[in-house]
Structure 1
Amino acid sequence: MAEVSAEARIEAPAGKVWAQLMDFPSYGEWNATHTNFPNGGPESLETGATFTENMKLMGFPAEVLWTVEELESERALAIKGKGPMGVLVTTRYSLAPDGDATTVRIDGEFTGAAVSLMAGKLKDSATAALNESLRKLSGLVA
């Protein structure tokens, strides 16, 4: 298993940050691992909804079938996905209002036999991608 996380204070209210997170057509502008949504982004999100995303991590392309596990407007989005080679991926976005700013945290977890072979490198690559994503997200909403 490989666990990763990143956190940033973004100089924008939670509603504005949340709106950007939910704007799936613009995912490629800030999400460092996102390539595209082969079937288009999710029409609407609700617990149990599914969508497919093409991603790239450590230079390798991967298609992930995501299921929404938790959704609390302007607070939290948790998705769990199945990727290639039996890899399971969990991603959780948490927003905490802080005056006119918002603290955004992204937590991720990778599990599966293939992960154990490259856990250290995966953790470093994914952590760097999360930090880059938060930096780009901040630039879009601040």
Structure 2
Amino acid sequence: MAEVSADARIGAPAGKVWAQLTDFASYGRWNATHTSFPQGGPETLETGATFAENMKLMGFPAEVQWTVEELEPERVLAIRGKGPMGVLVGTRYTLTPEGDATTLRIDGEFTGAAVSLMAGKLRDSATAALNESLRKLGGLVG
């Protein structure tokens, strides 16, 4: 298993950060690993909703079939998915309001046989992507 996390204080209220985070049409503007949603984001953002995402990590393209696992508007969005080679992926966005600002934490995990072969490299690449994504998201809403 490889686990990664990153957080950033964004100079915008949680509602504004949440609106950007859940605007699936704009993911390409801030999410460093995102390339496309082949059928668009989830039709309705709710627990159990599913959607496919094309991503690129460590230079490799991958399609992940996501399911929304936990949803608490303006607080938590957790998704879990299955990628190529039996890799399971989890991403959790946690928003903590701080007056006119918000701390956004992203936690990710990768499990599966293929992960153990490249866990260190995957951890480094994913952590860099999370930090870049937070910087870009902050620039969009801050």
- In the TM superposition, residue 34 of structure 1 has moved relative to its aligned partner by 0.2
1:90 equivalent in structure 2: 90
Cα distance in structure 1, aligned partners of 2:69 and 2:121: 27
CA RMSD between the two structures: 0.4
2:103 equivalent in structure 1: 103
Cα distance in structure 1, aligned partners of 2:42 and 2:31: 16
- 1:18 alignment partner, SS class: helix
Worse-superposed segment, 101-110 or 42-51? 42-51
Cα distance in structure 2, aligned partners of 1:31 and 1:13: 20
1:138 equivalent in structure 2: 138
Cα distance in structure 1, aligned partners of 2:6 and 2:78: 15
Alignment of 1:1-142 (within 5 A): 1-142=1-142
Letter in 2 for 1:108: G
Letter in 2 for 1:28: G
- In the TM superposition, residue 99 of structure 1 has moved relative to its aligned partner by 1.0
Cα distance in structure 1, aligned partners of 2:65 and 2:97: 30
Gaps in structure 1 of 5+ consecutive residues: none
- 1:122 alignment partner, SS class: helix
Identity %: 85
Letter in 1 for 2:106: I
Runs of 4+ in 1 over 6 A off after TM superposition: none
Cα distance in structure 2, aligned partners of 1:80 and 1:30: 20
Cα distance in structure 2, aligned partners of 1:26 and 1:7: 20
TM-score, normalised relative to structure 1: 0.99
Cα distance in structure 2, aligned partners of 1:18 and 1:41: 15
**Number of paired residues?**
142
